[in-house]
Amino acid sequence: ALKEGELSFSEGSLITEISQDADNPGWCVGRLPDGTTGRFHSSFVEDVPPEELAAV
């Protein structure tokens, strides 16, 4: 993350509790498994279907 409040994560990270950032179109807020929360741009992530999450 480059700015305060942005979420740093690596490829393959599972981000949950995702919501749209109403003040910043294209940005989301989410939580990593370790409890870290922050903002990230939606272009950096992809949706994982629920049936694939069961295997994680």
Q: Which tens digit of pLDDT belongs to each residue from 11-30?
A: 999 999 889 988 899 999 99
pLDDT at 56: 61
pLDDT at 51: 85
Backbone angles phi, psi at 52, to 5 degrees: -80, -30
Predicted TM-score (pTM) of the model is: 0.80
One-letter amino acid identity for 38?
G
pLDDT at 55: 67
Over 80: is that where the pLDDT of 36 sits? yes
Q: Are 29 and 37 in contact (CB under 8 A)?
A: yes
Domains and CATH numbers, the chain: 1-56 (2.30.30.40)
Backbone angles phi, psi at 50, to 5 degrees: -55, -35
Average pLDDT over the chain reads: 90
Q: Which among 54, 44, 34 has a CA at the least distance from the CA of 2? A: 44
